[in-house]
C-alpha cells in the first residue's frame, strides 16, 4: 500500500491546508487517520462521538444484563428480520480450483466450471464458467459488475465502482454514470430486439471483449426488469432511502440481536460495525462520505424496502484471517478498511488474470432442479458448486445429487471431477433440544474445550450473564450419522477420502488451547 491509499479522516476540498493523506492514527480507537496534530485537533469535535462511544469501552455490556432480563435473541431458532434477499456471501470464499493438488499445475485445459474460482498464474488454457441463481437480483448484479470490469478502461475506477455497487447502500454520481452510460446501453440494445418476443421466452445475448465473453440467458420479462437496476426509483432521495434502510438495520426490536454479535468483537470493531449498520458504506472509517449520495439502485428496487437481512455484512463473505491480515495503514483496527483493501487486491488480480487468457462467463436465472440441465451443453463441468441447496430446507442432498450428477464430468474423463456443497443448516435441522442441552452441559466435551479459551473473568456469573446467552454451541454432526455416504453411492458418487479441493471441516478450530494463535483463531470463530 502507498501513502496515497490512506486518506486522512474526513478530508474535503474545503480543507486545502491539510496534506490529505494520513500518517498517524487516533491512539484511542485506531480507526481514523490524521496528517498531523492540527488535523487531529480540528477533527476531534466530530470524532469524539465515535471514539468515546459506549460500545467502544472495554467494560461495555448489553442492556439485557444491566436490566436483568432475558434477551430477545435467546433460543435455538434463528429469527430473520428485514428483506429476504441474499445479495452478499454468508460464508467465506474458498479457492476451490486447486490445480496443483488435482490435475496439476501443467494442466492445459480447457477448464469448465459451474461456478467461479481462482485461477493459478501458470494456467494458460481456456476457461468456461457457468453461474446460475434463481434470484433475478443476484444474477443482475453479477452481470452488471462483470460488465463494469470489461467496459471501464481505467482499472482503478472499475474496481472502485464494482466494490460500491456490490456492497455500499449509496454510491457516487460517477458510479451511477458508469451504470447508466456504459452498461445500460448494452441491455437496451437487447430489449430493443425483443419487441415480438413473448414475456416467458428465454432470450440469450453474448457480449464479446477480445478474448473475454459474457453470455446472459434470461426470460424476456427479466431483461426488461434488468434496466431498473441502473435507475434510482423516482422520488427516492438519499434521506428517504437511508431512513428505509435504518428501519431494518437499526430497529429497536433487534437491539439484543445486535448486542449479541457485538459481544464477540474488540471495542474498535464494535464501533466500526455500528457505523456500517448506520450508514451502509464500505469505506475506511474516517473516509469522507459526502460523495456517496445516490441510492444504490441494485439494492433499492422500490421506494419502501431494504432487500436484505438486518445482520447481512460484507465481512461474512470473506476469510476473516485474510481480511484481518490485510494492511490498513496506521489505522490498524479499521476492519472495513482492511476488507476494502483486500477486495481491491483481489479484484485487481482477477482483472489482470483475465487479460491474458480466453475466458467466457455464462449466466442463468433458473431453478436448478428443473431448468438448468436443459441449458448446459455436452461439455460437462469439471466442478459444480451448489452452495447450500443440499440443506433440507431447499432441495436436500438426494435431489441435489439427482440433478448434479448428470452434469458432472464422468470419472473416465476426469478423476478429479467434484461436486461441492455446503450443509449450512444440517446441525440445526437435525439437533434435538436434548442434543443442545447435552452439548452445553458444563461436563460435556464440547463445553469443556470451549471454556479453555475463555478467560476466568468471562465465565458466567449469573442468570443474565452475556456469556450464558451468547456462548456458541459447538455442535458436530458427522456425515455418517446423516447417511451421506449411502446417498452418494446410490447416485454413483462417493465422498472424497482425501480432500484436494477444500480441507475437511474448513471452519473448525485447528489449534489447541494454549498454542500460539489459538486464542485469535477462537475469537475469529466466535464471530462467524
Q: How many Cβ atoms sit within 10 Å of the Cβ of residue 387?
A: 18
Domain-ending residue, one of 366, 392, 423: 366
* 152 and 185 housed in the same domain: yes
DSSP 407-471: GSPPTTT-TT-EEE---SSHHHHH--HHHHHHHHSTTSHHHHHHHTTS-GGGS--STT-HHHHHP
* Cβ–Cβ < 8 Å for 36, 9: no
Residue 157 lies inside a defined structural domain of this protein: yes
Domain-ending residue, one of 324, 343, 366: 366
Q: What SS3 class is residue 217?
A: strand
* 208 and 347 housed in the same domain: yes
Q: Return d(Cα 144, Cα 234) in angstroms, integer.
A: 21
The pTM for the full model equals: 0.82
Residues paired with 132 in a beta bridge: 364
Nearest alpha carbon to residue 470 among 254, 252, 258, 318: 258
* 11 and 80 housed in the same domain: no
* 145 and 195 housed in the same domain: yes
* Cβ–Cβ < 8 Å for 381, 155: no
Please state the domain count of the chain: 3
* 144 and 6 housed in the same domain: no
* 181 and 228 housed in the same domain: yes
Residue 146 lies inside a defined structural domain of this protein: yes
Residue 95 lies inside a defined structural domain of this protein: no
* 17 and 154 housed in the same domain: no
* 35 and 161 housed in the same domain: no
| Burial class of residue 45, CB neighbours in 10 A (0-12, 13-18, 19+) | exposed
Render each residue's pLDDT in the chain as its tens digit; 528 residues: 443 466 655 555 555 555 566 678 899 999 988 888 888 888 888 899 999 999 999 999 999 888 888 888 876 566 789 999 989 876 666 666 655 555 555 554 555 554 554 555 665 677 888 888 888 999 999 999 999 999 999 999 999 999 999 999 999 999 999 999 999 999 999 988 888 888 778 889 999 998 889 999 998 888 989 999 999 999 999 999 999 999 999 999 999 999 988 988 899 999 999 999 999 999 999 888 899 999 999 999 988 999 999 999 999 888 888 899 999 888 999 999 999 999 999 999 888 888 777 888 888 888 776 655 555 555 666 677 777 777 777 778 888 888 777 877 777 777 777 888 877 776 666 666 666 666 556 566 656 665 665 554 444 555 555 555 544 444 444 455 667 778 878 888 888 778 777 777 776 777 777 788 777 777 766 666
Range of the domain at 45: 1-52
* 303 and 444 housed in the same domain: no
Residue 118 lies inside a defined structural domain of this protein: no
* 39 and 163 housed in the same domain: no
What secondary structure letter does DSSP report for 511?
A: S
Domain-ending residue, one of 309, 340, 366: 366
* 203 and 336 housed in the same domain: yes
Taking CA atoms, 251 is separated from 74, 131, 237, 271, 302, in Å, by 17, 35, 21, 17, 20
* 2 and 83 housed in the same domain: no
Residue 343 lies inside a defined structural domain of this protein: yes
Residue 256 lies inside a defined structural domain of this protein: yes
Residue 388 lies inside a defined structural domain of this protein: no
Residue 389 lies inside a defined structural domain of this protein: no
Amino acid at each position: 500500500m502507498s501513502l496515497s491509499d490512506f486518506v486522512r479522516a474526513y478530508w474535503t476540498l474545503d480543507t486545502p491546508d491539510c496534506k490529505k493523506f494520513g500518517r498517524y492514527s487516533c491512539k484511542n480507537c485506531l480507526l481514523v487517520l490524521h496528517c498531523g496534530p492540527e488535523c487531529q485537533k480540528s477533527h476531534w469535535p466530530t470524532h469524539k462521538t465515535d471514539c468515546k462511544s459506549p460500545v467502544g469501552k472495554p467494560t461495555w455490556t448489553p442492556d439485557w444484563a444491566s436490566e436483568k432480563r432475558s434477551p430477545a435473541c435467546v433460543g435455538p431458532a434463528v429469527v430473520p428480520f428485514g428483506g429476504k434477499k441474499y445479495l452478499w456471501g454468508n460464508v467465506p470464499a474458498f479457492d476451490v480450483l486447486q490445480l496443483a493438488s488435482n490435475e496439476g499445475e501443467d494442466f492445459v485445459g480447457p477448464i469448465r466450471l459451474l461456478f467461479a474460482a481462482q485461477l493459478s498464474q501458470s494456467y494458460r488454457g481456456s476457461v468456461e464458467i457457468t453461474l446460475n441463481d434463481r434470484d433475478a437480483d443476484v444474477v443482475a448484479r453479477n452481470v452488471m459488475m462483470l460488465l463494469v470490469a470489461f467496459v471501464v478502461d481505467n482499472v482503478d475506477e472499475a474496481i472502485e465502482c464494482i466494490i460500491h455497487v456490490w456492497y455500499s447502500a449509496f454510491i457516487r454520481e460517477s458510479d451511477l454514470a458508469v451504470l447508466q452510460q456504459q452498461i445500460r446501453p448494452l441491455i437496451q440494445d437487447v430489449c430493443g430486439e425483443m419487441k415480438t418476443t413473448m414475456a416467458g421466452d428465454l432470450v440469450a445475448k453474448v457480449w464479446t471483449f477480445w478474448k473475454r465473453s459474457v453470455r446472459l440467458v434470461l426470460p424476456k420479462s427479466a431483461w426488461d426488469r434488468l434496466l431498473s437496476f441502473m435507475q434510482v426509483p423516482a422520488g427516492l432521495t438519499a434521506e428517504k432511502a437511508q431512513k428505509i434502510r435504518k428501519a431494518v438495520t437499526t430497529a429497536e426490536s433487534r437491539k439484543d440481536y445486535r448486542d449479541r454479535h457485538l459481544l464477540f468483537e474488540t471495542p474498535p470493531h464494535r464501533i466500526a460495525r455500528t457505523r456500517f449498520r448506520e450508514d451502509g458504506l464500505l469505506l475506511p472509517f474516517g473516509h469522507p462520505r459526502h460523495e456517496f449520495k445516490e441510492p444504490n439502485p441494485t439494492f433499492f428496487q422500490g421506494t419502501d424496502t431494504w432487500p436484505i437481512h438486518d445482520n447481512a455484512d460484507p465481512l461474512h463473505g470473506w476469510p476473516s484471517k485474510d481480511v484481518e491480515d490485510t494492511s490498513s495503514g496506521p489505522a490498524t483496527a479499521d476492519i472495513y478498511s482492511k476488507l476494502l483493501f483486500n477486495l481491491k487486491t483481489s479484484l485487481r488480480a482477477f482483472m489482470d488474470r483475465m487479460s491474458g487468457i480466453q475466458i467466457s462467463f455464462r449466466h442463468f436465472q433458473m431453478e436448478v432442479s428443473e431448468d438448468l440441465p436443459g441449458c448446459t451443453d455436452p461439455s460437462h463441468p469439471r466442478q459444480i458448486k451448489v452452495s447450500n441447496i443440499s440443506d433440507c430446507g431447499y432441495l436436500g442432498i438426494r435431489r441435489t445429487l439427482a440433478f448434479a450428477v448428470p452434469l458432472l464430468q464422468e470419472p473416465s474423463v476426469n478423476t478429479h471431477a467434484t461436486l461441492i456443497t455446503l450443509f449450512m443448516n444440517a446441525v440445526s435441522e437435525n439437533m434435538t433440544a436434548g442434543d443442545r442441552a447435552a452439548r452445553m452441559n458444563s461436563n460435556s466435551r464440547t463445553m469443556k474445550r470451549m471454556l479453555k479459551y475463555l478467560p476466568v473473568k468471562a465465565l458466567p456469573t449469573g442468570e443474565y450473564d452475556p456469556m450464558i446467552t451468547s456462548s456458541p454451541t459447538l455442535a458436530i454432526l458427522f456425515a455418517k450419522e446423516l447417511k451421506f455416504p449411502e446417498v452418494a453411492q446410490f447416485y454413483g458418487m462417493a465422498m472424497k477420502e482425501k480432500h484436494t479441493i477444500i480441507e475437511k471441516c474448513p471452519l473448525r478450530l485447528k489449534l489447541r488451547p494454549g498454542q500460539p494463535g489459538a486464542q485469535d483463531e477462537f475469537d475469529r470463530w466466535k464471530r462467524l
